[in-house]
Each structure stands twice: as structure tokens, then as C-alpha cells.
Structure 1
Amino acid sequence: MAVQVRNPYTGEELGTVPEQSADEVTGVLAALAGDRRVLAPPDRAAVLAKAAALLAQRRDRISDLITGESGVCKKETLREVDRAAGNLRVAAVEAERITGETIPLSSGGKEKLAVTVQEPVGVVAAITPFNRPLNQVVVKLAPALAAGNRVVLKPSEKTPLTALSFVDLLREAGLPPENVAVVTGDPAEVGGTIAASPCTDMVTFTGGVTAGHAVARAAAGKPVLLELGGNDPLIVFADADLATAAKLAVDGGFATAGQSCRGVKRVLAHGSVADELVARMVELAKTKRYGDPRDPATDLGPLISAEAAELVERRISDAVARGAKLRHGGSRDGALVEPAVLDEVPVDAELVREETFGPVAPVLRFDTPDEAVAIANSTRYGLQAGILTRDVDLFLGVARRLRVGTVNLAEGPHFDSPHIPFGGVKHSGVGREGIRFSIRAMTVTKTLTMPYRLVGEG
């Protein structure tokens, strides 16, 4: 059997991938685990650097592939290719910086030296989502390969073609074919099989909470990295620059048609500036062009499916029924959703209580820092947050009380860099990504002890 891959904007079939059975996947894993030879760090670095160069050379072609199967607009998929190439370049450098430490010891009157070395964990299972079909793959494969591991990749069944193309590119860059494999098919069967397999030594997963918890249960006893989404707030205090705040709110809320785990999901605005902020957001929202993602002028393409768009539409309607004011947008045409700005959204509306994957910028009002913190912390997620204020003491005081993985001053929650840790608390996940931090998580520490002087030495 085969899985059809369709363009979410046109509905046309772009290709098919195999719907592999659990037995077939088990065979793939056994082959990966059967050969534990490890590439030397310079060789790993060379492969990753060459892959980055190949991505840059084929930027436009790969961008078209991502746009075709994900519906993300051309403007953004070009940036995704650039981000992926950047992550590969960082991983190439970090591949040759994996170090241990020396520890002097004194035990039973004997002077010894302990040395720690970082070794590959083994076979890493990487399970990736649909929303960034290239970069989500790269941020898992690049550090895994930099650390010397072998990888089995399970891409989203909605967007597997980009992943397959990237793995071909890695092999072209010099990665031995036996170091990476791609498995496709039913996410529950294939994902569960690779997570539970005794051939798998570690699992890294990005996706929804329910699926992530199922993967963690299947992988019980193995190290896991889980990135399970966010409900990220942008907190705008009374002294904030409102032009900057409105731009961050709209850009962060509408990027990737709102299908980003670290995007702005809630705009928390101080009551004294909320009216002006909302007015500015509406004016910016009106400038956003949504439609055909292949058009270079388009800012927002469709959601991944009509069903996903229907859920967003229903949540907008529910928020309005609870008292929210729809100030702009919100209409739906198939998988397309007009970018929406809502004001006075109740804290208990599903739109802001859950992670809403759609182009929606909901504004919630607060009067005191304590109230802002309470609203920000009121959901089951805790990924990232952005704060806009000129008062550094206020920023530090609020940041300390926010239950999130990262707090950005003068930036939205969507700020990212391959050089810093990325991950959340509560239901947002377990562990930290970011190239150097993922490499550390994807290695195991081996300790060697030895006497300072060997027998027979003077």
C-alpha cells in the first residue's frame, strides 16, 4: 500500500510513499543497529558542511517542494531552507567540539585521574511534524549525526517528500547510506514501532501532546527529547513601543499560517494600551495577503488541511460566543483562513486555552503584572514567551515567575537561534533542543580511570 501526498492548496497528488508495516520497520531498525562503526568527527563535519552547501545551491527547488506539500507560502519556505542550512553549518562546527573533562582523584591513598568522553548514544529515532518539513528534520538529524549516531527518521505522513529529498542530499554529501534510514506510513504503527524497538537507543519527537505521550510510553526506559507544542504569550506592558508590539504580534501570530509551536498564540495587553495596540494589529493584518502559496507576493498559505481550518474557524466562533470581539478576518475557504484579530478574549475560551494552529491573534487584557503572569501560566503549556517593556526590573520579575523554557525581552516568543537551548516545561515537552544541547543529549558519558603513575614508573 502507499500513502498519497497532496498539495493542501490545490488538492493535487504530488506523489506517494510506502505504507510500511511494523515488520518492515523492524527490519530497517535491525539493519541500522547491526553496524556500530562511527564516523570520525572531521568526517561528520565534512558531510554536514557539504549538505549545507547543497541546500544553499538548491534553495529555490527545495523551497518549491516544501510549499507544494505543506502549503506554506514561498516567502517562508525560502527562509526555512536558509534556516536549515544555517543549522547544518552550526552542527558541522559542533561535531568537532564534543569534549569531556579530566577529574583528579584520591582514593585509598592512591592518586588517580578520571577522564570522561562523550560517545554516540547509538540509534536515534527521529519523529517529525508537518509544519516545517525541512527544518524540523534538520534540527533532529544534524545533531544526531554530528554526535556520531545512526538515525531512523519518521517524517509526517502529510509532508514526507521533503524529508526523503533531504536524506538523499545527505547521502550525496557523503553520508554512508547505512547511517540513516527513512520509514513512512501510519504514524501510530510506525512511530510506536521505532520508539519501542530494542534496536532504538533514543527517541526525539516533535508533535502533539497526545501522540508525544504515547511515544514516551512506548520508549519507556530510553532517553527522550519531546517538543509537544506551546501556547506562547506576547506580554505588552504600558510602556511598550506599540508599533513594535503590533508587528511582533501579527508576524508571530500569522507566520506559517499560524502553524508554529513557538508562534504568538496569545497577546496579553495592558488595559491602558490595548485599544491602540488592537487598532495597530488590525491595520497590519489588513496588509497580509493570503491565498496561493506559490505566489511570491503571498504572506499566508492554507493550513495543512480543511479539517485543521475548520477547527480554527470553530474556535474563533466559540470565542466570539463567549464575549470576544472579532476585529478582523476569520473567514474560511477550504483550508484557507483569513488572518484574524480578536480582542477581549476570555481566558477560558478554547481558542486560547489550547494550542490553536491557525492565523489568529487573540488579545487578552490585564491590569497588573500579577494578572499577566497568572494569565500566561494558566494553560497546560510552557514553551516560550516574549515581553515588551522598557523596565528591566519589571521584565526580570515577570520572567522569573513565568513557567516557560525561554523568555525574550523586546522580542516575541518566536525568536530562535541554533546556539541556544529550546524546549519547554509542563506539557510542552521534556529536554532541550538547540544544536549543541541536542548533541549533548544524544551522547552518553563514558568514564575512564587510571593511576597517575603506571606500575613500574618512577
Structure 2
Amino acid sequence: MKKQYYVNGEWKSTTEYADLLSPHTKEVIAQIPQATHEEVEAAIDIAHETRKQMAALTAYERANILEHITQLFIENRKKAAEIISLEAAKPIKYALAEIDRTIETYKFAAEEAKRITGEMIPMDAAKNGANRFGYTIEQPIGVIGAITPFNFPQNLVAHKVGPAIAAGNTIVLKPASQTPLSALFLAELIDQTELPKGVFNVVTGSGKTVGDALVKSDKVKMITFTGSPAVGKGIRDSAGLKKLALELGSNSGLIIDKNVDLAQIVPKCVMGAFSNQGQICISLQRTYVMDEVYEEFLEQFSTLTNKLVIGHPDDESTEISAMIHPDEQERALSWVKEAVEQGSNIVSGGTIEKGIFLPTILTNVSATSKVSCQEVFAPIVLVNRISSIDEGIAAINDSDFGLQAGIFTNDILTAFKASKELEVGGVMINDIPTYRVDQMPYGGVKDSGTGKEGLKYTIHEMTETKLVVWNQQ
């Protein structure tokens, strides 16, 4: 079925199309328009022309539009989840969970739209500030270029579209090439709201054509991107002086201290490592377990991992299905083979069966193996032994990434130590690094990127702070 892209409230066709294949069945599920550079520029022009109309909407009006989007997702929850499952091979129960989070994200955006305020500045606190009255106001910046990944094709889009609307900006969205159907479905929903036409636009096509046009356009005032460090750094180098928010992934680590309740911890670790086939920016990738509990943890962890239900993403019982592309599965397999050649041991998985990469546990993994030092983005987790908390902290920090990390401990001083010394954007105490709720500040350090997601925090980045000073003399 040939799809159309969405600009200025209209569905548009183009000359070239690309087949979209199901990651699970490998069948063609749609033909996706491949927009030309000129068509992307036209979408940017529309967003640019509509920016004053959007900025004129009141906070009440913007909040109502976002509440309507929330309600439309509630009404279309199952359909939206089925689209995710079809194009991303995400097991349906996890796709439904993503839509539930998407609903919450737009709800938070609606609430935050009413809280966008500046602050009073105590001008007379300065020697030369007498008789002056100062305050700031937050104003929309204009056109937002949003470039989104395949792994959460509704909720990670919501983290860009929701705050952009709340702040009074216009948007040109370039969805991931593997998951455009979710973005086009979002356009169908938004088309039913009172959002002015031209404020929200979806342009499908290659990253080189669509992404480059967004990044290089002087009319686009901010790029918000979630994806690989290599692409993110390329955006940084090409974007000029426009604002950037770059969420570039991680190889998230977890420390497990002695004297903890493994029966409570292990199920969380299995979920953190293998949910969505490990294709999550904060997927549990590196686990460092104290000597005293190492053997017992590994036994429980592997036992539970081997019970995961592998199958078709449509099946409500399925927990593991195909990764996003066969090439990605082959890459993951090659990384496991490299780790084994460097001395690692395979406890579970490490193979592809019936087109599905099996959940894989590795032990004794070198810090220089790709499965340790790069973002694996696959159902692979390493479990290494440590003899001290300091050793675990050092191992997690020995990384080019720093998005989130976690520690399970019953010692309050150990928890405080980890919270201060772990070089990451977020530390989860007594939880996996994969934990996230959508209103919290979310973003990393080092090669994990710049900027924060989380509605209030993103809105601040999508506005300009203007200072106003009145001289009362």
C-alpha cells in the first residue's frame, strides 16, 4: 500500500517510494514516500510561515490541543500498538505499554503548557540596579526539526512533538525509515485536532536527504535528535548556531552489592536487559556483581532468561521477537563471537534461531570487547564479577558513554557514594538503569549527548529566555 507524507494538513505523494519490510516476516507491509530535497524545503517553509500563528495560541489553547491528542491515543490505543508491532516487531504487550506511556507523555505536555513562566530578577541586589524592575519571559523559538529513532516510534516522537506544541513551536518530523507508519498515524490523529495546519508536518525519506535539509536550513531553529553518536556528531558539526538536543545512547551499567534480595532484583534485570530485544538506549548492557552473590545471581538470571517466551510479535505471550533488521542481528552475532575470542563465556543464547537473535548472557567480558565498550542495541548483557563497589564504579565509568546507571545496595553510604561518583546523567538507586518515567529529566554526559528530555526540561530548551528591564526613574 502506497503511503503519503503530511505537510500543511495535506497528504502528499512523491515520485520515489521505498518498500517497508516487516522485521519479523520480511514481507512488504507498505511503500513509503521518499521526499526530495525540494519537498523537505517546502515543508520547512510551511512550518516557518505558520510559526507566528502558532505562537499566538494561548497556553489554554495549546493545552487543550495536547489533551485532545491524549484522548485520541486513548481511543486508538490498540490500533497504535498494532502499527508499532507490525513495523518494529515489538511484542504487542510492550507496544501497548509504549502507547500507555505515550498517552502519559502528551498528558504531561498538556499540563506543562500551562506552567511556562519566567521569573522575577532582583535588580536592586546589584549596586547599579536601583529603581529597576526586571523579569524574564519564555518565548517559542520557531521551527523544530525532529529526527526520531525506530525503537519507540510513538513515545520518543511524543517527547519531541509534545513539548514543541506546548512551547508554541512548529515542527517538521523525520521519523526513522523503519518506523514511519507510527508517525503517519500520529499525523492522522493530530489532523483531527484544532492545531493550525502547517504546525505539525511529517516528511519521510532518507536521513541524508530529509535529515540534512533540516540540519542545514537557516529556518530551522532547533534540531532534536535521538540516534547514534556518529550521526549525532555529524549533526553537531553541520548545524551551525541552531539549538541542539542530542540523545545518543549508552552502554548502561549496573552494580549489584552483597546482602541484597536477588529474588526481587533478578526479574528487573531480565526485563532491563531484554525488553524490546535490548533495543533501548538505557538497556541493561553491563552488570557488575559482587563476589559474594555472583554465582547465585548468575544462576537465577540465566534460569529466568531461558524462560522468556520467543515468538511472533502479535502473540500476547511473546517477550522476545526479531530485531529491527537482519543485518543488526548479524552484527550482534559478530560482536558475541569477538567477545568469545577475547575470553568471554556464553551462558545463554549467542545464536540466531528461526530468524530471532536469542537473549544472550556473557561472562568474563573484556572491557575492550565491543559488547562492553560500545552500544550493543541487542538482547546481549554481560555479567562480570567484582570484589568491591569501587571496582564496579570504575568499570561503569570506563566508558565513552554516560546516560544512566544503577546500583542495588542496602548500604546508604554505598548508595550515596555511587550517586556522586558514577559519571552519568541519571543514577537509579535500587533499580535498573533502564528505569524511566516520562516527566523526569533524561539525558546523558560524554558521548551520550547533550540536552534533557522530560517535558518541563525539553520545553525550557525549546524556548528562548528574554530579559525585560524597566527603568523606573
Same-fold call, TM > 0.5? yes
Secondary structure at the counterpart of residue 390 of structure 1: coil
Find the counterpart in structure 2 of residue 377 from structure 1. Answer: 397
Q: Identify the range of structure 1 (237-246 vs 226-235) with the bigger mean alpha-carbon deviation.
A: 237-246
Question: CA deviation digits over 1:319-372, x for unaligned, max 9?
Answer: 122221211122203641111122222222111111101111211221112211
Q: 1: CA distance between counterparts of 2:122 and 2:445?
A: 36
1:302 to 322, 329, 342: 322
Find the counterpart in structure 2 of residue 427 from structure 1. Answer: 447
Find the counterpart in structure 2 of residue 3 from structure 1. Answer: 18
Query: What is the CA distance between 1:407 and its match in structure 2?
Result: 0.3
Q: 2: CA distance between counterparts of 1:373 and 1:290?
A: 34
Aligned counterparts, 1:17-416, within 5 A: 17-35=32-50, 36-37=52-53, 38=55, 39-106=57-124, 111-333=131-353, 335-416=355-436
Q: Kindly report the root-mean-square deviation, in angstroms, between the aligned alpha carbons of the 2 structures.
A: 1.4
Q: 2: CA distance between counterparts of 1:399 and 1:334?
A: 42
Q: 2: CA distance between counterparts of 1:247 and 1:452?
A: 64
Percentage of matched positions with identical amino acids: 33
Find the counterpart in structure 2 of residue 456 from structure 1. Answer: none
Q: 1: CA distance between counterparts of 2:123 and 2:360?
A: 63
Question: CA deviation digits over 1:156-175, x for unaligned, max 9?
Answer: 01110101111221221222
Q: 2: CA distance between counterparts of 1:231 and 1:244?
A: 23
Q: Identify the range of structure 1 (167-176 vs 154-163) with the bigger mean alpha-carbon deviation.
A: 167-176
Q: Is the 8 A contact 1:45 1:91 kept in 2?
A: yes
Question: CA deviation digits over 1:377-400, x for unaligned, max 9?
Answer: 111110001100000101111221
Question: CA deviation digits over 1:293-314, x for unaligned, max 9?
Answer: 1111100111001000011111
For 1:4, the aligned partner's letter is D
User: Runs in 1 of length 4+ with deviation above 4 angstroms?
Assistant: 106-110
Runs of at least 5 residues in structure 1 that lack an aligned partner in the other structure: 454-458
Give the 3 Å change call, closer, same or farther, for CA 451–307 of structure 1 in structure 2.
same
Runs of at least 5 residues in structure 2 that lack an aligned partner in the other structure: 1-15
Q: 2: CA distance between counterparts of 1:322 and 1:52?
A: 49
Q: Identify the range of structure 1 (196-205 vs 314-323) with the bigger mean alpha-carbon deviation.
A: 314-323
Secondary structure at the counterpart of residue 167 of structure 1: helix
Q: 2: CA distance between counterparts of 1:12 and 1:390?
A: 50
Give the 3 Å change call, closer, same or farther, for CA 244–344 of structure 1 in structure 2.
farther
Query: What is the CA distance between 1:450 and its match in structure 2?
Result: 1.7
For 2:30, the aligned partner's letter is G
Find the counterpart in structure 1 of residue 3 from structure 2. Answer: none
Find the counterpart in structure 2 of residue 15 from structure 1. Answer: 30
Q: 1: CA distance between counterparts of 2:150 and 2:246?
A: 16
Q: TM-score, normalised by structure 2?
A: 0.93
Secondary structure at the counterpart of residue 355 of structure 1: coil
Question: CA deviation digits over 1:68-100, x for unaligned, max 9?
Answer: 000110010000000000000011000000011
Secondary structure at the counterpart of residue 201 of structure 1: strand
